[in-house]
Amino acid sequence: MSKNLWGAFSRKLDKKLRKWMMILIVVLAAAVAVLVALQINEHRKKPEAQVLTVSTLTDMIPVSDLSTVTSTYNGVAEVMNEKNPDKLDYYVAYEAKVQAGVDFADLQPEIDEASKTVTIRVPDAYYMDADVDMASLDFMFNSKKANTSGVTERAYKACQEDANRECSSSEAILELARENAVNAVEALTRPLIEQLYPEYTLVVE
């Protein structure tokens, strides 16, 4: 008797419970689905938070021609007499393309997390090369005897030496090469930092 009663009660309870359980499961499933959808949207909205590291900064600055600057150097070389080195044979004017630059591999990026400041130090520029244009040679002879068939070869050599000497010590060339490198580094990094890491301030020096 009690067994039958218990069986009927349990069937009734079971039916009600199953109904509620079903509703609960469906509601829970719907809630989970909503949460997942919201999560996906949130993920799509925000770019993945990236950490700014020295390596990220280094990647922004590729080693390229941007590190070098070409200048035009129109100079004049003096060519002395071979037998009498105190006597001037002629002046020779020339045009050379001079290259100076900064080695981007030597850049020193630093990140100060406390002040949220990125500092990139650009090293000094160095003289690389001067290329004299042979076709640009123009002579002013002091001794007519020096105007012989082999004069161009000797003059070219003198021009190359003069260009190397003058340009390697030219502060103007080196200073401008460094200034150009600073501008290039800033152009390579500032827009990216402003867009991807707006919380940081960039200093290029």
Chain residues in the site for other proteins (CB under 8 A): 19, 22-23, 26-27, 29-30, 33-34, 37-38, 40-41, 44-48, 50, 59-60, 62, 64-66, 69-76, 91, 93, 97, 138, 140, 142, 166, 170, 172-173, 176, 179-180, 183-184, 186-188, 190-192, 194-196
Smallest distance, other proteins to C-beta of residue 18, A: 8
Rounded CA-CA distance 190/204 in Å is 9
Rounded CA-CA distance 47/114 in Å is 23
The residue (of 8 and 33) whose beta carbon lies closer to other proteins is 33
Smallest distance, other proteins to C-beta of residue 114, A: 24
Q: Tokens in use for 177? A: 């090469």
Smallest distance, other proteins to C-beta of residue 75, A: 6
**DSSP assignment, residue 143?**
S
Interacting residues of 158 by C-beta distance below 8 A, sequence separation 6+: 77, 78, 79, 92
The residue (of 5 and 172) whose beta carbon lies closer to other proteins is 172
Q: Tokens in use for 158? A: 């003198």
Question: Going along 113-194, which residue ranges are E strands?
Answer: 117-121, 126-141
Rounded CA-CA distance 89/21 in Å is 110
Smallest distance, other proteins to C-beta of residue 66, A: 6
Smallest distance, other proteins to C-beta of residue 19, A: 6
The residue (of 121 and 190) whose beta carbon lies closer to other proteins is 190
The residue (of 2 and 195) whose beta carbon lies closer to other proteins is 195
Residue type, 188: L
